[in-house]
Amino acid sequence: MDFVKKVAVIVGGGSGMGRATAEALARQGATLAIVDLPGGKGAAAAADLDASFHPCDVTDETGSEEALAAVVDRHGGLHIAVNTAGGGVSRRIISKEGPLPMAGFRRIIELNLMATFNLNRLQAWHMSKNEPTEDGERGVIINTSSIAAFEGQIGQVAYSAAKAGIAGMSLTMARDLGGLGIRVMTIAPSLFATGLLEGASEEIISTLTKDAAFPKRAGRPEEYAWLAEAIIKNPMLNGQTIRLDGGQRFAPR
């Protein structure tokens, strides 16, 4: 898909991989909309990039629907969606306090898996109304998983389950939406210099990335953005999860 005159929504676009992707798509000539938490960095990023800003907590089903509707009302359509919002905490199934509370497990599933699917179904609905390109393409959805989906570490059971669910949706969703000319891809990053790792010491980063093949460092947000660009441009990339990890495989801890 070409970028020019296409509307791209970046969920979580205020910082990290989302911000880097927004910057990359802006350079390519896309019309940008940033969806992020109210009170976060989304408004500033939108101002810097001449994008519209739509405050939203992605765990709010109705709020997400309203935010995406506002994007379409503002820009006249939706062609590209990159979803980077999510997160998790580390907690074992059994600890001194007892078994992992179901509320904690449910919260991580809702933030990552449930919110992603809700965004996807709404994004696909708006994309289905687009005029197809010469190749019949109407839209591209990119989701964010993690290599924890495949070799989660101790304490990551909820996060691994959620991210595995996102990866598991890719092919089935691509098949569901293929007749409409909508592609679905997932990126599974390793440790990236965003969020809690942003500004971490070299010693901490070195310890966390020692199992990588090359490069033995945290990923950079722009490296996620480069892959997102390639996915959007290449119509043969569909229904897959691509690891973005420098050959790293998580050890148990």
Q: Which residues are catalytic?
A: 159
- For residues 96-127, one letter each, b for 16 or more C-beta atoms within 10 angstroms of the residue's C-beta and e for the rest, the string is eeeebeeeebebbbebbbbbbebbbebbbbbb
Q: What is the DSSP string of 105-132?
A: HHHHHIIIIIHHHHHHHHHHHHHTTSPP
Question: CA-to-CA distance for 4 and 95, rounded, in angstroms?
Answer: 52
167: which residues sit within 8 A by CB, 6+ positions away? 145, 149, 150, 186, 188, 241
Q: 24: closest CA among 42, 8, 43, 47?
A: 8
User: How does strand 241-244 pair with strand 182-189?
Assistant: parallel
Query: Coil, strand or helix: which one is 150?
Result: helix
